Structure 1
Amino acid sequence: MWKAISQLLADQFGSYYTIKSKTPVAGGEMHQSWIIDDGNIPVFVKINDKSYRSMFRAEADQLELLAKSGIVRVPRVYALGCAENVSFILMESLDLQPVGSEKMAELAAQLATLHTSGGNQRYGFDYDTWLGPVYQPNSWAKNWSTFFSENRIGWQLQLCKEKNIYFGNFEDIISSVSFHLAKYQPTPALLHGAFYHNNMGVCGNEIVLYDPACYWGDAECDLALADLFHDLSPEFYQAYNSINPIDKGYQQRKTLYQLYYLLNFSHRFGGQYIQQADEIIRLIG
């Protein structure tokens, strides 16, 4: 496998890439991760079974899409491939630090600009993606309430059921979510899709976003996830609003959008996320 990786990097860089060090990176939920180095260019490597190649392909395509926007900085993808029954993706290795308060306005401006970049009239994506290790269906829809209630909430409820986690009647919950969004038809925005502190950092003086779960949807979904774990600062909202004014109904919809992520975390991690999801479902029922 390492020989195949060296050859791909040699093709990418136009010179021999002899791996001199391999350092494992802890903390990933599903992939093995390494930083390899030839003494000149460090490379971040994610490895998994060969069946994960489509996931790595989707990740590479999303990062390329975000990079082409010219709005946000993402890690460069060097190559992806398969060898010895494993698949892998080779990416730029970046020394990332947490995004501090002094960068919040800049982060907000970048996100708002991405959300207003336009180019689509429907909700969904050209291919399915993943939210963490979980498959995320993105079938196109013209109606936002239909897309979100079925492709987001309904799908996560099914995954919860497969883990013996039940929140009530599927159809009733889906109908309730659809009802609350029925009169709301936002302009489709290109979403990062997994926009929270674990998937962003600062390298040098640049904000870097990674591990996307892209699709075209309501811009408020990115805000809702970021707000789920850490309250976004007044400086963030002020900068965001100056570019993409937030609709006055956001505070009511935020709970619905956070439900999607809480259901995802419920069947991945259990615990408090199940209780939080159940509270929201009872609230909207």
Structure 2
Amino acid sequence: MGKLSNAWLEQLPFKNVSEISSVSGGDINDSYSIVADDKEYFMKVQPNRGKQFFEHEVEGINKLNQRCLTPQIITYGEINGDGYLIQNWLDLSPIGDQNKLGKLLANVHKDIGPNYGLDHNFDLGKIPKNNHWQDNWSSFFINQRLSSLIQMAMDKGLINSNEIDKFNNVIDSFKFDMKNHDSAPSLLHGDLWSGNFSFVEGEPILIDPDVFYGDREFDIGVSTVFGGFNSDFYESYNQSFPLDEGWQRRIKYYQLYYLTAHLVMFGQMYLPSVNSILDQF
């Protein structure tokens, strides 16, 4: 989006915006530090996507902050068709006690929902999410997560017929494994890579959620894909909310999901990682 104009900034719900500078904040939004009415804030802007782009994130933070530390939502809205979200400014550090982080995630996962899914879909992201409620995790994950990704990868010419056959083997294996797994619909962060946790004054905090209710092994599996979570995290989580026997095997399904999502979003560079898991089935 580039530099925000004075006319744009004047429409924010502040009396005076005195400073603004770009900051790192992921690859989805434009992110800024702003000083307004003598206070510093963090602001995300999503060009041309409107206020509704941030409604899912706001709902996610509001759900998570009942169970753990999250950023504080100041306000969100729309200016000239651009969505914006303003949060309190936090001095974040990637370094902290991962024992605390494990306990924090366990506490989030102890929020058990009525079924698998969420009250609404999220259609405005790079990968649309069908969150229609299901009473069966196997059906939800296959039909509303993995299969749509496989179709997107096919449509983009990123996978061939041999890989599609391997995905079908994975789906068959997943259905079998879920018959012997006692699943429950936990509140999930939904995008639990290391860039989405941090520490504030030594306390762990979760940011940028993509929440829904699902099997908690989904978050655990995603957390293992790109690293950043250490053994203290997993040991503390398991002490607080023990995972069922066989979880180390089952999280491969969620590693595959996450890597396939990256294949769809970022291209062929992720295909070897996808195939390395496909070849295990």
> So what's the TM-score if we normalise by structure 2?
0.88
Q: Residue type matched to 1:236 in 2?
A: F
Shift of 1:95: 1.4
Whether contact under 8 Å (2:105, 2:237) holds in the other structure is yes
Percent identical pairs in the alignment equals 27
Deviation at 1:133, TM superposition (A): 3.7
Alignment partners' CA distance in 1, 2:139 and 2:151: 16
For 2:16 and 2:200, locate their aligned partners in 1 and report how far apart those are by CA, in whole Å.
26
Task: Kindly provide the amino acid, as one letter, of the partner of residue 82 in structure 1.
Answer: E
Is residue 2:238 matched to residue 1:241? yes
Q: Tell me if 1:208 matches 2:205.
A: yes
**1:273 Cα deviation after fit:** 1.9
Residue among 10, 21, 26 paired with 1:3? 10
Partner of 1:32: 30
Equivalence for 1:89? 85
Q: 2:18, 2:152 → 1: CA distance?
A: 43
- Show the counterpart of 2:223: 226
- Deviations for 1:222-260, whole angstroms, at most 9, x for unmatched residues? 111111222743322222122211111101101111111
2:101 is equivalent to residue 107 of structure 1: yes
- Find the counterpart in structure 2 of residue 283 from structure 1: 280
Q: How many residues are treated as equivalent by the alignment?
A: 270
Counterpart contact for 2:194–2:229, Cα < 8 Å = no
1:128 and 2:121 matched: yes
Structure 2 Cα separation of the partners of residues 261 and 86 of structure 1: 28
Q: CA deviation at 1:272?
A: 4.0
Aligned AA (1:115): H
Shift of 1:161: 1.9
8 Å contact kept, 1:150–1:174: no
> Which whole-Å CA distance do the structure 1 matches of 2:81 and 2:122 have between them?
22
Determine if the alignment matches structure 1 residue 41 to structure 2 residue 48: no
1-structure distance, mates of 2:231, 2:123: 31
**What residue number does 1:57 align with?**
55
Query: Normalized against structure 1, the TM-score is what?
Result: 0.87
Aligned to 1:146: 139
Report the secondary structure of 2:99's partner residue: helix
CA distance in structure 2 between the partners assigned to 1:129 and 1:85 by the alignment: 18
CA offsets 1:187-232 (integer angstroms, 9 cap, x no match): 1111111112101111222222111011111111111111122274
- AA at the equivalent of 1:260: Y
Equivalent-residue separation in structure 1 for 2:50 and 2:23 (angstroms) = 19
Counterpart-to-counterpart distance in 2, 1:256 and 1:131: 25
**Which residue does 2:5 correspond to in 1?**
none
**CA distance in structure 1 between the aligned counterparts of 2:68 and 2:232, rounded to whole angstroms:** 19
In structure 1, what is the equivalent of residue 194 of structure 2? 197
Does the 8 Å CA contact 2:194/2:228 hold for their aligned counterparts?
A: no
**Which 5+ residue runs of structure 1 have no aligned equivalent?**
11-16
Specify which of 158, 170, 173 is matched with residue 165 of structure 1: 158
**Residue 163 (structure 1) shift:** 1.9
Cα distance in 2 for partners of 1:138, 1:34 equals: 30
Matched, 1:80 2:87: no
Contact 1:73 1:209 in 2 (8 A): yes
- CA distance in 2 between counterparts of 1:171 and 1:229 reads 25
Distance 1:135 1:207, change over 3 A: same
Q: Which has the higher helix share?
A: 1
Structure 2 unmatched runs, 5+: 1-7
* Corresponding residue for residue 178 of structure 1: 175
2:77 alignment partner, SS class: strand
Correspondence for 1:250: 247
Question: What residue number does 1:14 align with?
Answer: none
What is the CA RMSD across the aligned residues, in angstroms?
A: 2.1
Structure 1 residues 131 and 57, CA gap change in structure 2 (3 angstroms): closer
**Contact 1:144/1:185 (CA < 8 Å) preserved in 2?**
no
The residue type paired with residue 136 of structure 2 is N
Q: Which amino acid aligns with 1:66?
A: L
Q: 1:2 is matched by which residue type in structure 2?
A: L
Secondary structure of 1:202 counterpart: strand
